[in-house]
Amino acid sequence: MQQDVPLSRTSGDRTPDFYVYPDQPPASAELVGAVARLRWADGLELDAYALWLFENQMGDVTIEERSRESKFDPADFPADDVLRNVAVSTDGDVIAEWADGSTSVHHSGWLRHVAEQRHRPDAFLPEIEEWTTAELPAPPTHNGAAVLHDDGILLSFLHDAVRYGLARLENLPPEKTSLVALGERIGALRDTNFGVTWPVSVDLKPTSTANTPLPLPPHTDLPTRETPPGFQMLHCLVNTTTGGLSTMADGHAVVRRLEAEHPDDYEALCTLNWIFFNRSPNHDHRWSGPLIDHGAPGMPLTIRAFHPVRGFPDMPIADQPRAYAALRRFSRLAGSDEFQMRYAFRPGDLVLFDNRRTLHGRTAIDETGGVRELHGTYIDHDEIYSRTRVLTRHRTARELRLA
């Protein structure tokens, strides 16, 4: 093992990405068939297939140096006996020798990050934490006055939004420009037929139940779409009303409880489809899916539960009694004191929540008692996760430079 390589010798431009890695030389490297087997002193191993190593060469062959992306056409892949030898250099890099006599240099810290699974989509994101109101009686709250210029506060805010499915800012200036300014700190906002940003106010001509004083039971927005928006932000600009408490429930916790105590209802909600469509004169979005959608392995949970746009059972008539019974059970559970937190929305408050996980709603608004004006937008999981990873990796890079 090359233990004399200093930890501060970082990767710079020697990896197929833009991140900084400390050297972590393997203790050994050997060729096993078409696999480069790397083994570190702590026992961790990485089996690197010959052609994967081939397509990750820095230099003129496969990785384009400016974009750090592959420029190699898969149609031109050689046979996998192209890899003839692997070794660890005196600098701690992994050296691959190829059939044409050329060699390539692969950064040990970059290879180690693959061995540690830190290349996977869930890397650099906090683990999801389920909650009931006993564990989380109010949204985790952060400084809205500072979030627009302080990366540490933005990262903490995003971490909580991913971990708990919701996080709140307080004292974000109650102006319409604040929502877009916050969006620009995170990523692209998602446009819909409601616009990039939209008002929620009881004094508007209603294009949605949200713009009436009616209570809104636990729901998720836009199940009419193939992929409903990942996150939603609601910013309170004015609130002089009584009533209109905001509500939130953790869909993960509700789903887990159903699965444990009411498996028949859980099964019905996971397997029986409903057709959702929006009753707009100028739009006809529609989609069919189950209320609880776990998706493919590794996909985020999607709950489809906006009942004003739940139009038709998409199932045989014989299944409809159990589908309705399961829906009633789910909605009562999500609206119960155990699962549903309730809190006042004050001017300057902004709540960011996972629109596919967290069931949001509000209690009825007293129309005669004042004005309640919110400003909202959607932003997909991709944007929230990307900004969280980038801020986390920048913080890690700073820590490495200081080490």
- Which stretches of the chain bind Fe ion, using CB under 5 A? 221
With respect to Fe ion, which residue has the nearer C-beta, 144 or 228?
228
With respect to Fe ion, which residue has the nearer C-beta, 98 or 306?
306
- Any idea what the Cα angle at residue 250 is, between residues 217 and 343, rounded to 5°? 60
Q: What are phi and psi of 14, to 5 degrees?
A: -105, 15
Alpha carbons within 13 angstroms on the beta-carbon side of residue 388 total: 21
* Minimum distance from residue 224 beta carbon to Fe ion (Å): 13
Distance CA(369)–CA(276), nearest Å, equals 34
C-alpha distance from residue 52 to each of 147, 153, 182 (Å)? 41, 38, 39
* Minimum distance from residue 219 beta carbon to Fe ion (Å): 6
With respect to Fe ion, which residue has the nearer C-beta, 221 or 293?
221
* Minimum distance from residue 309 beta carbon to Fe ion (Å): 11
Distance CA(176)–CA(235), nearest Å, equals 9
* Minimum distance from residue 242 beta carbon to Fe ion (Å): 21
Are the C-beta atoms of 233 and 360 separated by less than 8 Å? no
With respect to Fe ion, which residue has the nearer C-beta, 110 or 378?
378
* Minimum distance from residue 221 beta carbon to Fe ion (Å): 4
* Minimum distance from residue 352 beta carbon to Fe ion (Å): 14
185 three-state secondary structure:
helix
Concatenate the DSSP letters of all residues of 301-338 into one string: PEE---GGGEEEEES-GGGHHHHHHHHHHHHHHHTSTT
With respect to Fe ion, which residue has the nearer C-beta, 221 or 383?
221
* Minimum distance from residue 391 beta carbon to Fe ion (Å): 28
With respect to Fe ion, which residue has the nearer C-beta, 23 or 221?
221
235 pairs with which residues across the strands? 350, 375
Q: Which residue is nearest to Fe ion (CB)?
A: 221
- For the four alpha carbons of 122, 339, 225 and 233, in that order, the dihedral sign comes to negative
CB-CB neighbours of 396 under 10 Å: 14
* Minimum distance from residue 360 beta carbon to Fe ion (Å): 6
CB-CB neighbours of 71 under 10 Å: 12
Alpha carbons within 13 angstroms on the beta-carbon side of residue 94 total: 34
SS (H, E, C) 117-158: CCCCCCCCCCCCCCCCCCCCCCCCEEECCCCCCCHHHHHHHH
With respect to Fe ion, which residue has the nearer C-beta, 221 or 265?
221
With respect to Fe ion, which residue has the nearer C-beta, 92 or 218?
218
Q: What are phi and psi of 175, to 5 degrees?
A: -130, 155
With respect to Fe ion, which residue has the nearer C-beta, 221 or 373?
221
* Minimum distance from residue 246 beta carbon to Fe ion (Å): 10
